[in-house]
Amino acid sequence: MTDQQTYQGKVVVGYDGSESADHAVAWAAAESLSRGRGLVLVHAVLPPVTAGGLGVGLPPTLDLVDQLQSQARTQLESVATAFAGVDSTCVVAVGAPSAVLLEASESADLVVIGSRGRGGFRGLLLGSVGAQVAAHAQCPVAVIRNPAPAGATGVVVGIDGSPAAESALAFAFDAASRRGWSVVAVHAWDVPAYDLLIVPNGPVPVPLADVADGEIRMTAEVLAGFRDDYPDVEVEEQLVRSPAVQALVKASANAALVVVGTHGHGPTMSALLGSVSNGVLHKSKVPVVVVPPVAPEPSAA
C-alpha cells in the first residue's frame, strides 16, 4: 500500500480507464482546483493468480507485476496531462481497488470514484467498488456516473436532524459557497405505518398536523446555523411528504450535485439514511457525495 502522506488532505480519484472513471477524474480535477488542494490519481493493480498443480493458485511473477504497474502508470500520466493546471500526483498501488481507496480515505480530504468500473455486470448502475467505498470510507466520497447538466448550480442535500445529515449539510454549504451555487435542502417525511402509532390502551394516531408542524420546526432549526455561517449561499427549503429517495432524486434531476449522509434516524419519521444513500447512489443521474458523520472528539481523561 501507499504512504498516507501521499493522500494527506488531497482529493483522491480512482481510475481504471472506464468511461465513468474519465468523468470522475474530470470532476475531481475541478474539485481539486476549487478546494486549493492537490489531486492524486490512483490506479489499483490486482495481478491475476494462475493455477498450478493440484489446483493450487500461484502468485504472479514479479515481471508481470512490474509490467502491469508500468502500463498503469503510463496511462495515469497520460490522463493527468489533460489537467495541466492541477497539482497532480499519479499512484499505482498493488491491491484490490476498494481496499486501496479505503486506505486513502483515512487521510484524504475527499475520495472520488466512477459509479461503474470495467468489471461486473454492465446493467448495474453502481459497481461493487463504489458501493463498498461509499459505505465504509472515513472521508466524504463522491460517486460520479455522468457529468452534471450544463449550467447546473444547485446542491441538493437531504436532512433529517441526524449527525450524518449535519455533516452532509456542512459539505453542501461549503461546496455551494466555493462554487457560487445554491443549496436545496430536502426534508422528506412520511406518516408512520398505522400499527406503529397504536397506543397500548387504545388506537390514538398522531395528528397529521402535529407531525407536519414538527418537521417544519426541525428543518428551520437545523438550517439556522448554516444560514448564519454562509450568508452568501442562497437556500431553498423543500419539505416533502414522500419517500426520501424519491424526493432527493426528483429534486436533483437538474442539480450540480446531491449530498447525503451515511446513516440517519430510524423509520418513524423518515427512512433510514443508510437506505436512502444507497437508493440515491443507484438512482441519481448526477454526481452524488456520501458524507460520514464527524467522529466525536476524544474526551479528556
Give me the percent of the chain exceeding a pLDDT of 70. Answer: 75
Please give the residue range of the domain that contains residue 134: 4-144
Q: Mean pLDDT score of the chain, rounded to an integer?
A: 81
Greater pLDDT, 144 or 115: 144
99 and 173 belong to one structural domain: no
pLDDT value, residue 239: 87
Q: How many domains does the chain have?
A: 2
Q: Give the mean pLDDT of 151-178.
A: 91
User: Distance (Å, rounded) from C-alpha 275 to C-alpha 218?
Assistant: 21
pLDDT value, residue 149: 93
Q: Are 248 and 257 in contact (CB under 8 A)?
A: no
Residue 297 lies in a domain: no
Here the CATH number for the domain that contains residue 56 is 3.40.50.12370
Q: Give the SS3 label for residue 193.
A: coil
139 and 158 belong to one structural domain: no
Q: Are 72 and 43 in contact (CB under 8 A)?
A: yes
Q: What is the CA radius of gyration of the chain?
A: 22
Greater pLDDT, 242 or 298: 242
Domain boundary at 144, 173, 190, which?
144
Place of cell 514479479: 62
Place of cell 437556500: 235
203-245 pLDDT, tens digit per residue, is 445 555 555 666 677 788 889 999 999 999 999 999 888 888 9
pTM for the whole structure: 0.82
31 and 140 belong to one structural domain: yes
User: Distance (Å, rounded) from C-alpha 88 to C-alpha 106?
Assistant: 19
24 and 71 belong to one structural domain: yes
Place of cell 452532509: 168
The confidence band for 58, taking pLDDT boundaries of 50, 70 and 90, is low
Domain boundary at 107, 122, 144, which?
144
User: Distance (Å, rounded) from C-alpha 12 to C-alpha 97?
Assistant: 13
Q: Which of 99, 127, 97, 103 is nearest to 115 (CA)?
A: 127
The amino acid at residue 55 is G
Q: What is the dihedral of CA 246, 252, 258, 264, to 10 degrees?
A: -20
> Quick check: 69 pLDDT over 50?
yes
Backbone angles phi, psi at 206, to 5 degrees: -70, 130
